[in-house]
Chains A and B, each alone.
Chain A
Amino acid sequence: MGNKQTIFTDEQLDAYQDCTFFTRKEILRLHGRYHELAPHLVPMDYTEEPDVTLPLALIVNMPELKENPFRTRIVESFSEDGMGNQSFNDFVDMFSVLSEMAPRELKAIYAFKIYDFNTDNYLCKEDLEKTLNKLTREELTAEEVNLVCEKTIEEADLDGDNKLSFPDFENMITRAPDFLSTFHIRI
């Protein structure tokens, strides 16, 4: 601690502390994890803000994300190009939003993005079907999948357009009691 680390300048660490929900120690630890993913690509010295991104395949194999059925969508939602290539900023951002301290509203915004597979800003029936299949290893019959998707849309759709827009989703997720406790990753 103190002045021993040379990875970031003090201003950078301050900025990170202000912009995420992590403390200095956790940010340094995150940098260590990021570096571990590709030691030859990621420099140890970030004081010059190098423009390094890691591809989707590397990040998706992290132990925290490996078993998550939505890992691809998570990494894609937090990447600037939408293809899953994350810089360190994106990496920290991802874990910050998914940490315990992030408020529900912020998590709801990103959850919506994650579940929106075709990125059309609506959760339509295809998105729901994909979500369901990822969750249940495709062991529900087609009729059951259909029924569940219909009931879901019926429960949450407020403006009657047969798909979930963000206000619908947000309204529903505030009433979902498990959301805050399940939508977090500990790193």
Chain B
Amino acid sequence: MDTVDSVFYPGPSNNPLLDQLPSYQSLLYRRKSSGAGGTKRRGSSRTRLNSRTRVSSSSSWKWKGDRVEERPTTLSLERTVRELPKCMEQKRRNNVERMEQARDLSAWKQWGQSARHSLKRLKEDCGQALSWLELWRQDIHVIEGMFGTGILSYFSFLRFLVLLNFVIFLLMFGFVMLPIIITNRASGNATFNPKHEGECTIYPSTSRRGLVVFHHYITDLLSGTGFLEETYLFYGYYKVETIDFPSFRYNLPLAYVLITIAYLFLSLIWIVKRSATGFKRKLVQDQDRFQSFCNKIFAGWDFCITNEMAARLKKSSLLYELKTDLEEERSRQKVAGRTVREKCRIYVLRLVLNLFVVAVLAACFYSIYRATIFSQEAQMYPPRNFILQLIYEYLPSMVITLANFITPLLFSFIIQFEDYSPAFEIRFTLMRCVFMRLASIGVLLFSLWSQITSCGSSNCLCGYNHKLYPCWESRVGQEMYKLMIFDFIIIGAVTIFVEFPRKLFVTYCDCGLAKWWGQQEFAIPQNVLEIVYGQTICWIGAFYCPLLPAISTIKYFIVFYIKKMTLVKNCRPATRPFRASSSNFFFLVVLLIGLALACVPVIVSIAQINSSHACGPFMNYNTSWEVVPQAVSQLPGGLNTFLKAISSEAFAVTFFVVTGLAMFYVIALAGAHKRVVNQLREQLAMEGRDKRFLIQKLYQAQKTPVRSTQNLEEPGGVFLVQPPAVSATHV
């Protein structure tokens, strides 16, 4: 075997036969074109065609520059010149050739080509001009050089959220606020005709009268009551039914509902589009090799790193990753060797621990519920001391933050006992934390609603508790506003009061405690959860508090600088690295979960809960959604019946069935492709073995030319009737 395989070993000059293989031709190195001038080829898929034209010159290593290759024009136009793996002079020659070929085409095609060319140039120039507008380009470049692409993905995610929030704000502003602002200044006429009379429409003003102590302003600013309540900030201000412009009527309630749905939809599409590339790649890679060795070795080093310390850290983290993988390999072998008894023990342990986790979650949710109810009751009868009042107002936020601080520590402690593989441990803990964070908002809202729709023992007169909550949407908006403000305060406070002191302590104090605590690590998953949490609040709250996206934009803008500063000054990169590719996908999946969770309260609130009769655009409707069917019924006949048909059950069932069929087809197609891939892989292995066998035989035959001419009766083997110089394989 060794003597045979030695044909493959050191160096191409050993066996000229190998040099002539088409797949070898595909990878010749650059040579000076005046000297041993081979050219590089594209990938092996093209070599078959090329070798036909190349065969004539492969024996001589002198490839003159002016030798035109007779590549068929259809193929050469498929790849642009810049994508060819050749050195610059050859590319320029190619370019010149193509331009000469283009001159042979008809005038119409020439014009088409030159138009395409200038369009491409225009696009490039525009792209370059636009890149100047790109937010934080220089900052992100610096971060990338210092910390690598894992942390970079966090910051580009943050930038994406800033843009998303800004666009949502523009939508809200353009369609909901701008008409009202114009009405107040210009010629429009805003009308609203209250249909309901009686108790439900009483909305006592909450602005403070008389001599107002200064700290009341602070309380109002921080909790959205008082002077802030009847402004553009909250739902209650938009008490308009229609606006009569000179040429048309603008139905504001309809706009409000449709814009809410539109911004949720826009967010969904934008996120999906952004995650599409990452998702495609994830589908292609094998499922059981989540972070394979090849990926780490060949795509593991961040070529962007320019900082010496970052390079050292990257090497350590790669080392750590490889060691973890080797350990995972060992643990996989251990799992395979588990006995039934051990398996039972492990499963029972996991069940118990999962029940414990569920119990912890239930306890947290219950405490949030109780805190909300307490806070709501306390707001009815506020205490004299304004600090105490603020604490009562912010109690739900504080409980949520505390719960979100403790539970990750608990989860990462528990998972050690559950004996999963390291990669799965990380993912599972993260999923638990995600669920905890996002569900806590849902629990808050649920407890709020239970307060709003409970009127003691009797049924609610107006569908909600109008005595305590004359304008309940504004109240919900205030809670969302408080959550957002508190979240922002916490991010700032943790940076200033925890991370800075820690850095100072670790740098200047030389005791064992400092060494054990260590420098702060920039933990990407926790940071991502923080900002996804804020974004979920924004999505839910934008319906009740239309200016919330603007506040969110400003908040994330400032958070970028805070995080950048803490990263540069306080942190070292995580020893457990977070891969860029999987991290992008992870961020967007978590964001999608947040969006899905945000849609539920918004939809329930629009469709189910009675809108308040004392304030807001939906005073004259029972639920917010009612405005849409009413508007549809006012449309012209054809459109009306069309829209009614779409929303009918018949259409929905048909649509469902068709979608189900399409999904089934696509899944079947994917399965078929997978089978084909496996077959092709086996064929490739077989071809490789065939190739080795044939080369081996040829080599043997080449080595014994004299013998073959004499022993014509020798069985087997390959016969060469003539000396190899003129054999069919040598050209």
Contact = CB atoms under 8 A, between A and B. Distances in A.
Interface of A: 15, 17-21, 23, 25, 63-64, 66-70, 79-82, 89-90, 92-93, 96, 98, 102-103, 105-106, 108-113, 115, 119-122, 128, 131-132, 135-137, 139-140, 144, 147-148, 151-152, 155-156, 158-161, 165-167, 169-170, 172-179, 181-186
Contacts of B170: none
Nearest to B30: A80
B29 A181 contact: no
Contacts of B688: 158-161
A64 B141 CA distance: 12
Q: Report, nearest first, the 5 A-B pairs whose CB atoms are least far apart.
A: A159-B688, A89-B88, A177-B581, A67-B311, A179-B299
Interface in B31-67: 31-32, 40, 42-44
Nearest to A175: B285
A93 B319 contact: no
Contact of A184 (B303, B307, B315, B581): B303
Interface in B551-582: 579-582
Contact of A120 (B11, B141, B297): B11
B87 A80 contact: yes
Contacts of A25: 128
A178 B295 contact: yes
B199 interface: no
State the majority secondary structure of interface residues on A.
helix
A110 B85 contact: yes
Interface in B4-24: 8, 10-12, 23-24
B322 A140 contact: yes
Given A93-B88, A119-B29, A148-B293, A17 B23 contact: no
13 contacts: A15-B95, A110-B85, A112-B27, A135-B300, A135-B301, A136-B318, A152-B294, A155-B292, A158-B684, A166-B23, A166-B27, A167-B684, A182-B300
Contact of B681 (A158, A173, A183, A186): A158
Contact of A178 (B300, B306, B322): B300
B583 to A, nearest CB: 10
- SS class, residues of chain B in contact with chain A: helix
Nearest to B585: A177
Nearest to A66: B306
A70 B297 CA distance: 12
A103 B83 contact: yes
A135 B292 CA distance: 16
Given A98-B303, A151-B329, A160-B689, 19 more contacts: A15-B92, A17-B121, A19-B92, A23-B128, A68-B311, A109-B42, A128-B297, A135-B315, A136-B315, A136-B319, A151-B293, A155-B294, A159-B687, A166-B44, A173-B299, A176-B285, A178-B580, A181-B580, A182-B149
B297 A179 contact: no
Nearest to A79: B30
Interface of B: 8, 10-12, 23-24, 26-27, 29-32, 40, 42-44, 80-85, 87-89, 91-92, 95, 121, 124-125, 128, 141, 144-145, 149, 278, 281-282, 284-286, 289, 292-295, 297-308, 310-312, 315-316, 318-319, 322-323, 326, 329, 579-582, 681, 684-685, 687-689, 691-692
A64 to B, nearest CB: 6
Contacts of A17: 121, 124
Contacts of B82: 18-21, 96
Contacts of B121: 17
B315 A63 contact: no
Q: Most chain-A Cβ atoms within 10 A of its Cβ — which of B87, B128, B681, B687?
A: B87
Contact of B684 (A120, A136, A144, A159): A159
A115 B294 CA distance: 12
Contacts of B23: 165-167
Contact of B43 (A20, A105, A151, A186): A105
Given A64-B306, A165-B23, A155 B581 contact: no
Nearest to B302: A182
Contacts of A179: 295, 298-299
B88 A178 contact: no
Q: Which of B285, B295, B579 has the most CB of A within 10 A?
A: B295
A140 B92 CA distance: 45
Contacts of A139: 319
B285 A19 contact: no
Contacts of A115: 298
A114 to B, nearest CB: 10
A18 B579 contact: no
